[in-house]
Structure 1
Amino acid sequence: MLDIQKIRADFPILSQKVNGKPLVYFDNGATSQKPIVVIEAISKYYEEINANIHRGVHTLSQLATDAYEISRGKIQYHINAKFAHEVIFTSGTTHSINAVANGFASLLNENDEVLVSALEHHSNIVPWQMLCEKTGAKLKVIPMNENGELIIPEYENLLSGKTKIVAVNHISNALGTINPIEFMIKKAHEVGAAILIDGAQATPHLKPDVQALDCDFYVFSGHKICGPTGIGILYGKEEWLNKLPPYQGGGEMIATVSFEKTTYADLPHKFEAGTPNIAGGIVLGTAIDYLNQIGFDNIADYEHELLEYGTKKLLEIEGLKIIGTAKEKTSVISFNIDGIHPYDIGTIIDKLGIAVRTGHHCAQPIMDFYKIPGTIRASFAFYNTKEEIDALIEAVKKAQMMLS
């Protein structure tokens, strides 16, 4: 059992008021809040060891380099990567996906196909569209059903020898659907395709084991797992990272440079051009340590309780419809109320201290599928409470009464 009040005390922002009301933060799908250990670790870096990393012979540079590489090792252990050099620091999930898509530009031709799913965030759609425009390859879409689940037999039908890479999220940011990625990875490999898993929404709720999954790439962002913004991870199998060209050129990613020819550095530096977000990389390790102390099994169990409680309570509101009712879901509830625009609900309940996300959630194809302009999304984290869900219910009822 988690001591939720003790956990909440770790997050300074949760004790503040918004518009004179206690803050109820249900926008965790967009970004998580930060515990004091993370906030202090950022300050500690800048106060004590701020220096550029790698190649420096002075003490601060060596201390910063050691801390940065220790963090890489923590992340390797956390996701069970085979090698530390398979863990690439990026600015976030979007950067990570673009790095892979850019690399595949040298591997595809107009007879090839790229598969994405109907459940994707724009960050896992647009880079692949750009890749296809550049190479002439065809973009194919794995369809979804009314419950917000992928139609897996259709996925199997789409796979062929022409499929070169599949890009699919582990968990949908808009609906909370947990996709059957183990099966999808296996099927992609059967036709010789690589597969990238967008884990941005999964890593706050579970520990991915990339070796057990056997995925070729797994990407996620630090700011959704209690870490800083501007830092993310691209995991790639060594063989794939060696095969792909670097995404950016500059310092750090080179072995030798002359005006005649440049040779690239070994992994991971080949994909880490320029001065990185050093503080972010170091403190991402701090955030992962914090979450592992709480325990991901404990987090999953408690968030499932919140999901069940919130689902039951919201469905008691007349005219409310939940969008996305997959059998396998994480703690995200997207909903609408008959005759009322989601933006209007979100604006009113903000005045009551409730923070939710409204709109298409960077997943416009999902909204087009349901023929709606967007949804109200409440995304719960391990530091939320059932009492906060009760406050959400009352706020939504009040907004509904005002807008009806």
Structure 2
Amino acid sequence: MPFDVDAIRGDFPILDRTVGKYPLAYLDSANSSQKPQVVVETIDDHYLNHNANVARAMHLLGAEATEAYENSRARIARFIGAAGEQEIVFTKNASEALNLCAYTLGSQLKPGDEVVVSVMEHHSNIVPWQLACQRTGATLRWFDVTPDGRLDLAKAAEQNLINSSTKVVSLAWVSNVLGTLNPIKQIADQAHAVGATMIVDGSQGVPQLPTRVQELGADLVAFTGHKMVGPTGIGVLWGRYDLLAELPPFLGGGEMIEVVRMTGSSYAAPPHRFEAGTPPIAQAVGLAAAADYLDTIGMEAIADHEQEITGYALRALTEIDGLTVLGPTDLDGRGRPVDRGGAISFTLEGKYGQIHPHDIAQLLDSRGVAVRGGHHCARPLHEAYGIQSSTRASFYLYTTTAEIDQLVDALHYTRAFFDK
């Protein structure tokens, strides 16, 4: 069926809101997506009719909750093309999933070993590896970025960045600042050639792109529910089962164990080994509903819409005097961005110098446009470009060209305001 953005918007009641006299133009989906009515209703139904703890209570509600939770695990496995539900670990967000990777794989590091990330990573894919290297004496190295927002693969080759000492490579699939779509399979092949484990932060990729983790080239992939029209409070770590089975526990507590004695404990098989305590049950049920919703529309159609809307935005934004887009701006023959996702960060120069992103965001908000201003949890990337922060507009399946036009009009207003 044709992609009908107006019909999709009808599934998101919040998009009918106004800000003063302006319609809400929600352009902050890279931060957190809005939720369709069906996801909210599914969570409500669970709490109102099936609420109980999982894998513990020996009664009807407990059985229903356990079945719903494990069915959600299987649903997410299908959504990303995993080999089976045993490869799906539920966490509270992508940050926890990446910390799980850094803690468990990090326990195997030693002095002389190297971990490779990139300058464009979210802090959640930098700080855990810094901590792991501090604990073990391993060395953290990184890809730099080119002026147009790509990984500097030529410089990495000159530096022999991925080498026989490399034990882990951990990269974003899609940059949350630059929108850059990174060549994960190419880099994964390099990592595997030297025996390293390839980890992917899929927080911006899985919500936007058809995902088949077994074809991506990664060994572990982290992503989060709240960016893919699901609830907050739940993330996912997918891993090859043979790798998960080799990793030690991340947290200790109930349900991650096999047998506990005062002299020591043995641990459950994955994925439960990594899910200590009461898990995010209702959130998992909501995430499964989100996967159903996205698959009903079709991830290929969603990706196509996002490419169309991002191309439209790039053309419109680059016509604003004083505005500089960070990251790739190349368009193909159809006006679609080349190897780019739906987040556009930019700076805006006025008559008296650069306008602070927080001021831009505040004035845009006064005209109904919701964006993010700051370093977007990617301070090293901004430092690499010699700027303190930026403004980011980000799009999703419900974004319209009218909202992009509203953004452009609000930016013209903002520039005129600060040029007085």
Category of TM-score, reference length = shorter chain = over 0.9
The correspondence of residues 57-206 of structure 1 with structure 2, limited to 5 A, is 57-156=58-157, 157-206=160-209
Matched, 1:353 2:354: no
* Alpha-carbon distance, 1:83 to partner: 2.4
DSSP 3-state at the match of 1:223: coil
Letter of the 1:330 partner, please give it.
G
Letter of the 1:336 partner, please give it.
T
Q: Give the stretch that moved more between structures: 150-159 or 342-351.
A: 150-159
For residues 217 and 266 of structure 1, what CA distance do their matches in structure 2 show? 17
2:384 maps to which of 369, 372, 384? 369
Aligned residues: 404
The correspondence of residues 293-312 of structure 1 with structure 2, limited to 5 A, is 293-312=296-315
For residues 156 and 235 of structure 2, what CA distance do their matches in structure 1 show? 29
For residues 393 and 149 of structure 2, what CA distance do their matches in structure 1 show? 16
2:287 maps to which of 281, 284, 287? 284
* Alpha-carbon distance, 1:375 to partner: 1.0
DSSP 3-state at the match of 1:350: helix
2:225 maps to which of 202, 222, 227? 222
TM-score, normalised with respect to structure 1: 0.98
DSSP 3-state at the match of 1:215: coil
Q: Give the stretch that moved more between structures: 54-63 or 194-203.
A: 54-63
Q: Deviations over 1:45-82 (max 9, x none)?
A: 10000000013220001001111111111111111111
Matched, 1:242 2:245: yes
Letter of the 2:226 partner, please give it.
H
For residues 406 and 144 of structure 2, what CA distance do their matches in structure 1 show? 36
For residues 343 and 258 of structure 1, what CA distance do their matches in structure 2 show? 55
Matched, 1:331 2:342: yes
For residues 305 and 11 of structure 1, what CA distance do their matches in structure 2 show? 21
DSSP 3-state at the match of 2:226: helix
For residues 283 and 202 of structure 1, what CA distance do their matches in structure 2 show? 20
Matched, 1:33 2:34: yes
2:323 maps to what in 1?
320
* Alpha-carbon distance, 1:237 to partner: 1.0
Question: RMSD value over aligned CA atoms?
Answer: 1.0
For residues 403 and 221 of structure 1, what CA distance do their matches in structure 2 show? 38
1:380 maps to what in 2?
395
Identity level (%): 45
> For structure 2, which runs of at least 5 residues remain unmatched after alignment?
330-337
Q: Deviations over 1:280-330 (max 9, x none)?
A: 011100000100111111111111111111111111111111111264111
* Alpha-carbon distance, 1:154 to partner: 3.3
1:43 maps to what in 2?
44
1:23 maps to what in 2?
24
Is contact 2:210-2:299 (8 Å) kept?
A: yes
* Alpha-carbon distance, 1:203 to partner: 1.1
Is contact 2:210-2:303 (8 Å) kept?
A: no
For residues 78 and 347 of structure 1, what CA distance do their matches in structure 2 show? 37
Q: Give the stretch that moved more between structures: 13-22 or 391-400.
A: 13-22
DSSP 3-state at the match of 1:224: coil
For residues 293 and 196 of structure 2, what CA distance do their matches in structure 1 show? 36
For residues 49 and 156 of structure 2, what CA distance do their matches in structure 1 show? 52
For residues 399 and 71 of structure 2, what CA distance do their matches in structure 1 show? 31
TM-score, normalised with respect to structure 2: 0.95
Q: Deviations over 1:165-194 (max 9, x none)?
A: 000000000110000001011110001000
Letter of the 2:385 partner, please give it.
Y
For residues 297 and 267 of structure 1, what CA distance do their matches in structure 2 show? 31
1:272 maps to what in 2?
275
* Alpha-carbon distance, 1:20 to partner: 3.5
